Structure 1
Amino acid sequence: MKVISAPPRPSSFAVAASPGGPPTAPSYVAAPPPVCLFSGRRLLSHLRLAVSSRLHFSKPSSGANGSLEGSSSSSSPGSGGELHPALIPPPRSVQGARVFVALPPDAVGPSGQMPRKKMMGASFRALSAAGVEGVVVECWWGIVEREAPGVYDWGGYMDSVMLAHRCGLKVRAIMAFHQWGTGPGDPGWIPLPGWVLEEMDKEPDLAFADRFGRRNKEYISLGCDVLPVLRGRSPIQAYSDFMRSFRDTFRDFLGVVITEIQVGMGPAGELRYPSCPSEKLIRARIEGELGEFQCYDKYMLASLSACAQKVGMHEWGYGGPFGASNLPKNPEETAFFKSDGSWNTPYGRFFLEWYSGLLLLHGERLCMVADEIFLGTGVRISAKVAGIHWHYGTLSHPSELTAGYYNTIFRDGYLPIAEMFSRYRVALCCMCFDMRDSEESSHPRSSPERFVRQLVYAARKCKLHLTGENSFARLDEQSLDQVVKNSKLYHGGAYETSLSFNYVRMNKHLFDSHNWNRFTRFVKRMSDIQAFRARLDLRGTESFLSSTSFAEDVGRALSYPSGAGNGADAPKAWNNRSLRSSSRPGTTASLLPPIPPQFQSKKKASPFPALSRPDDPDRARELRLEMEKDADRKSEAEERIHDRGRDRDQDGDRDRDERRRSDRERDRDR
């Protein structure tokens, strides 16, 4: 089946009067909905005839109130509105964590067609029989909109969704606005749309650049998010038009078969900078790559310069920090990343606040348009955070800093991201659920377990739905046990949130008999995970990781590099300690880390007063290790309880099998 969508309604996603300003609410010009041309089977006409107790109301609208525009194909012209019945998803009793399986990246080929349909159908039926909840499908920008701007070919993805529906599986769709593979010689190569690459050739600064001038074309530079650099559209407008076309094409499946939309926000679909090429991330972990700051295209430099001028330090706006070279591989050999380096100086805090703040602003823009586009469709929106952990044991966390996560021994860099996601009801997806610190013995500074624990804490604190992912496609018992262990950290039972897991990804080895048996047992264990809960007791450490007072002072100016309105007050706010309390709720400025305890209103005193002093890193590290050991002990105790229960079940199974064998022998003797 081939589904081609005409160009969607012109998007007018607006931002503040000057570049980089805070985004305002979208507004649309009234226009008829896109026309979809179908060849072959009609689109699930039986869905409309099904009896259901759930009703969707759709009404044409030209306002900016976030409602869905247009009507379904059955709407009569000029009607005031219509109630559409929809199927209720088939009941499935899942008390624990639901498991999804990601499809291969080439599940839909470069021509937009779905190859190997029979093989895929057999795989889907096997997954459904194993208790898997659904599949994860990547919708590649470079495949769907490959022909021309505004021309979308959803044919192969429509086949995938209908096949999953026939097999009783749900679908999670990833809006993949990045490239895949190492280059044209890679058999799995999926580039950005050809017309986007043509614009990049004309204007090289659309791609990220490091201090050596090396360009990275995995994802469009977020410095030009709101500039009309793509044949009259901005990147944010192109992304929103893509998602709007997806919504209009798959409207009958949303909330019924398609239950989640993951919005790609950077390289590999993750909210980060391409500090290291995605295909080299595994090698970067092994070699301890620090990464390079990606702030040397003209759009990023213009934003940095404007921000430096706002704080009265124009000499800080000429580029990234000195002494942050990736060549030594050892952070202690660099002037910026070493323990007493310039990362913890006024300049270092200024630069890192700007660098991470621009990434937060990019994520907020995408969350805003996704929330507006899919409002009322019944799907959950999610976004992914990268698993960069190979310098987690250092004070400065250099590889995280270059990726855009301002996470150090003194500052929680993931909590602001979780807070931003919570405002738009966006679920958090994170990797490394299968990794253990014991695997990193040759890299003593690496700690994937502590990284996952920090992400889980941020998700729980902000009451976010959490989706875990594995970093490696392996099915050994140790890795699967680690996934279950990390999943238990989230199930505290304190509030109504949920956990799921994406296994990345389906391949021929998954269906080998020994791997398949382990995988089906793993799915069963994940479904029963609430029976063995682990408590993530961080003993009230909300103020444990906090930004310094300097970072608070400049935070407002750094969030919107050259915007109007509140951004114009940045020089006055430079010395204003009450900056946070006067910022408007719902903006990126409110995403900045908590105010240090000495500037907070009277609340419960922190049990760790020493951690508010940046000049005592040894004590801070000791307290952090003590808390992590305490959490590990509790998790190990829960694991022992689970193991004893599993052993009893196995003993009971053996006894039952022995009794059955004895009964059969007696019957045979008789």
Structure 2
Amino acid sequence: MAALSPPPSALPGPAAAHSRPDPPRLAPSLALRPAAASRRVPHCGLAVSARLYSSGPSSGANGSVGDPSPWGGEELQHGLPPPPRAAVGAPVFVTLPVDAVAPGGRVARRKAMAASFMALAAAGVEGVAVEVWWGIVERDAPGAYDWAGYVDLVSLARRHGLKLRVIMAFHQFGSGPGDPCWIPLPRWVLEEMEINPDLSFSDRFGRRSREYISLGCDNVPILKGRTPIQAYSDFMRNFRDTFQDFLGIIITEVQIGMGPAGELRYPSCPSEKLARPNSLPELGEFQCYDKYMLASINACAQNVGMSAWGSGGPLGAGNLFQNPEGTHFFKNDGSWNTAYGQFFLEWYSGLLLLHGERLCMAADAIFWGTGVKILAKVGGIHWHYGTNSHPSELTAGYYNTLTRDGYLPIARLFSRYRMTLCCACFDLRDAEMGQVNPESSPEGVLRQLVYAARMCNLPLTGENSVTRLDDESLNQVVKSSKLYKDSLYGHSLSFNFVRMNKNLFDRHNWTRFTRFVRQMSDGRTFQAKLDIGARESYFHSVSASEEIGRARIF
């Protein structure tokens, strides 16, 4: 494997040339977690006085003692509080092509990649994001890791002053061997799937998905004596040990893949179809028919004394392109809203949450003390958001309906492990999607995810769903970012543009993109100008409406 020297700040001194002490570490249960940011009342330039009933003069850190009061105390004139901190924008990352590291484990088109890095750095981009493919690094045998291509990428990023967001990609990419960007799971995993097909998700028709190993066997030693969670953990641990001198310096963020397309969800619909958000809306299929998932639901049904509920997914779920109102389960007054529907959907979504928690626990333990931020992604499933039952979200594992918030439990899970929430749909508009499907609402899904993130004080990373560089799409990203971003209140936002291709560097596209990067990086983009009395202050438009009733915005 190619050698990579650590950055100057990571080079050991003479006394530490032969040993590198581990950073101090608290037990996870005793770790101090940042308190939720308190909301500040906008300062309106008024001096505040308080009468202190004391026998002698006193002073505070930011006050002065005035004339004695008639009541024998002292009047304390408090000085003005410090002004709000400088506005902070939303740094922009750019996702590299899927085949940035080719299946052979080497950087593809290295000279072009280096030139692209130079251009991105000059444009003010914070860094690049890259999928670290399980099917490339550990492709030949369990525990045989080949990081050479990614070592080279770290070297390029370091040379051009870019940070690196690494995505642990435990899923396949592409529709099959004929796809020019086909990246399957490791060869030895596919061999195990041939021997035991139930390692793959299955729908009611017996159609199997190999995008991701069934989470029904998370803790079953089906991978040459290891469980899938152990295999994912070993992969992350080896990554940490290989790149330890660059974590928190060049590699600043690690996103944990938790399902198809790296998202915490079921493969209810092929990911290549989800990548086309304006395609015909599919209800999706419940992925609960492999033997491990069936064993789980059967055990849960036995526990509640309803063994008849443990035979699989719900009946009457219709076909993929059927109108939800034509199905027994998904229609507005369908069985999704019955005792059985509640049982099934709580089990189905609960198993997904449990899978997410297992990976959160593993990542938290492995990357503790390294200085990297940990991210996890939620899918932007918006096709039936305007219905009561939200069928395409239910089949993906999000128990989100008209009467139930399915994203808040996920946000709370991520919050417990100090993670950053990543979600797409930042570039999509209801007006555009509604032309294909009137029930679609990407803006509604995004608003709900933003609300969950703010409720749980989660940092947020946004993404575009379609690789477009027209003004409407980029302006929509800025508009969507303003739903969350608030430099005064400490909410941390970044944006990941998906993904780099040759069209990005077209002269007109590049001009629009560099303007977009400057706009996102400028904290003033996320402030509204308020006139309060005779004094001007800047506050985020959404927060200002919450804090100040009748302020004049202009």
Q: TM-score range by the shorter chain?
A: 0.7 to 0.9
Find the counterpart in structure 2 of residue 531 from structure 1: 527
Equivalence map 1:643-654=2 (5 Å): none
**Alignment check: 8 A CA contact 1:291 1:403 kept:** yes
C-alpha deviation, 1:530, in angstroms: 3.1
C-alpha deviation, 1:288, in angstroms: 1.5
Residue 265 of structure 1 aligns to a residue whose secondary structure is coil
C-alpha deviation, 1:325, in angstroms: 2.0
| Mapped pair 1:58 → 2:65 | no
Residue 399 of structure 2 aligns to a residue whose secondary structure is coil
Q: Distance in 2 between matches of 1:149 and 1:437?
A: 45
Q: What is the identity, as a one-letter code, of the residue corresponding to 1:374?
A: F
1:303 pairs with one of 290, 296, 302: 296
Equivalence map 1:219-368=2 (5 Å): 219-282=212-275, 285-368=278-361
Find the counterpart in structure 2 of residue 162 from structure 1: 155
Deviations 1:21-46 (A, max 9, x none): xxxxxxxxxxxxxxxxx4xx645578
Q: What is the identity, as a one-letter code, of the residue corresponding to 1:512?
A: D
Deviations 1:562-620 (A, max 9, x none): xxxxxxxxxxxxxxxxxxxxxxxxxxxxxxxxxxxxxxxxxxxxxxxxxxxxxxxxxxx
C-alpha deviation, 1:527, in angstroms: 1.3
| 1:283–1:526 CA distance, 2 compared to 1 (3 A) | closer
**Alignment check: 8 A CA contact 1:292 1:325 kept:** no
Deviations 1:377-403 (A, max 9, x none): 000000000011010000000000000
2:417 pairs with one of 406, 424, 428: 424
Q: What is the identity, as a one-letter code, of the residue corresponding to 1:535?
A: V
Q: Distance in 2 between matches of 1:64 and 1:422?
A: 17
Q: Distance in 1 between matches of 2:136 and 2:370?
A: 25
Q: Distance in 2 between matches of 1:66 and 1:149?
A: 32
1:508 pairs with one of 493, 502, 505: 502
2:483 pairs with one of 471, 484, 489: 489
1:384 pairs with one of 349, 370, 377: 377
C-alpha deviation, 1:410, in angstroms: 0.3
Return 185-194 or 435-444, whichever deviates more: 435-444
| Mapped pair 1:464 → 2:458 | yes
Find the counterpart in structure 1 of residue 11 from structure 2: 48
Residue 210 of structure 2 aligns to a residue whose secondary structure is strand
Return 317-326 or 484-493, whichever deviates more: 484-493
Equivalence map 1:531-610=2 (5 Å): 531-532=527-528, 533-535=540-542
Superposition RMSD in Å: 2.5
**Alignment check: 8 A CA contact 2:284 2:320 kept:** no
Deviations 1:101-134 (A, max 9, x none): 0000100011101122111111101101111000
| 1:291–1:58 CA distance, 2 compared to 1 (3 A) | same
Residue 408 of structure 1 aligns to a residue whose secondary structure is coil
Q: Distance in 2 between matches of 1:266 and 1:538?
A: 38
C-alpha deviation, 1:495, in angstroms: 3.8
Q: What is the identity, as a one-letter code, of the residue corresponding to 1:497?
A: H
Aligned-pair identity (%):
68
| 1:238–1:471 CA distance, 2 compared to 1 (3 A) | same
**Alignment check: 8 A CA contact 1:148 1:195 kept:** yes
Structure 1 unaligned segments of length 5 or more: list them.
Answer: 4-37, 68-92, 541-633, 642-670
Q: Distance in 1 between matches of 2:276 and 2:364?
A: 36
| 1:178–1:45 CA distance, 2 compared to 1 (3 A) | same
| Mapped pair 1:123 → 2:116 | yes
Q: What is the identity, as a one-letter code, of the residue corresponding to 1:290?
A: L
**Alignment check: 8 A CA contact 2:100 2:107 kept:** yes
Q: Distance in 1 between matches of 2:130 and 2:479?
A: 26
Q: What is the identity, as a one-letter code, of the residue corresponding to 1:184?
A: P
**Alignment check: 8 A CA contact 1:466 1:498 kept:** yes
Residue 482 of structure 2 aligns to a residue whose secondary structure is helix
Find the counterpart in structure 2 of residue 449 from structure 1: 443
Q: Distance in 1 between matches of 2:315 and 2:545?
A: 36
Q: What is the identity, as a one-letter code, of the residue corresponding to 1:404?
A: G
| 1:64–1:300 CA distance, 2 compared to 1 (3 A) | farther
Q: Distance in 1 between matches of 2:483 and 2:249?
A: 30
| 1:65–1:357 CA distance, 2 compared to 1 (3 A) | closer
| 1:238–1:523 CA distance, 2 compared to 1 (3 A) | same
Residue 287 of structure 1 aligns to a residue whose secondary structure is coil
Return 324-333 or 134-143, whichever deviates more: 324-333
Q: Distance in 2 between matches of 1:161 and 1:539?
A: 43
Residue 218 of structure 1 aligns to a residue whose secondary structure is strand
| 1:431–1:454 CA distance, 2 compared to 1 (3 A) | same
Q: What is the identity, as a one-letter code, of the residue corresponding to 1:486?
A: S
**Alignment check: 8 A CA contact 1:437 1:448 kept:** yes
Could you list the structure 1 runs, at least 4 aligned residues long, displaced by more than 3 angstroms after superposition.
41-47, 63-67, 282-285, 492-495, 536-540
Deviations 1:471-504 (A, max 9, x none): 0000111111110011011124564330000000
Find the counterpart in structure 2 of residue 400 from structure 1: 393
| Mapped pair 1:104 → 2:67 | no
Deviations 1:345-396 (A, max 9, x none): 0000000000000000000000000000000000000000001101000000
TM-score normalised per structure 1: 0.68
Q: What is the identity, as a one-letter code, of the residue corresponding to 2:449?
A: L
Q: Distance in 1 between matches of 2:174 and 2:28?
A: 40
| 1:470–1:348 CA distance, 2 compared to 1 (3 A) | same
Q: Distance in 2 between matches of 1:490 and 1:46?
A: 34
Q: Distance in 2 between matches of 1:436 and 1:49?
A: 51
C-alpha deviation, 1:57, in angstroms: 4.5
Residue 11 of structure 2 aligns to a residue whose secondary structure is helix
| 1:304–1:285 CA distance, 2 compared to 1 (3 A) | farther
Find the counterpart in structure 1 of residue 191 from structure 2: 198
| Mapped pair 1:518 → 2:512 | yes
**Alignment check: 8 A CA contact 2:105 2:149 kept:** yes
Q: What is the identity, as a one-letter code, of the residue corresponding to 1:178?
A: H
Residue 252 of structure 1 aligns to a residue whose secondary structure is coil
Find the counterpart in structure 2 of residue 185 from structure 1: 178
| 1:49–1:530 CA distance, 2 compared to 1 (3 A) | farther
Q: What is the identity, as a one-letter code, of the residue corresponding to 1:243?
A: M
**Alignment check: 8 A CA contact 1:271 1:383 kept:** yes
C-alpha deviation, 1:308, in angstroms: 0.5
**Alignment check: 8 A CA contact 1:272 1:386 kept:** yes
Q: Distance in 1 between matches of 2:505 and 2:13?
A: 35
Q: What is the identity, as a one-letter code, of the residue corresponding to 2:315?
A: F
| 1:309–1:250 CA distance, 2 compared to 1 (3 A) | same
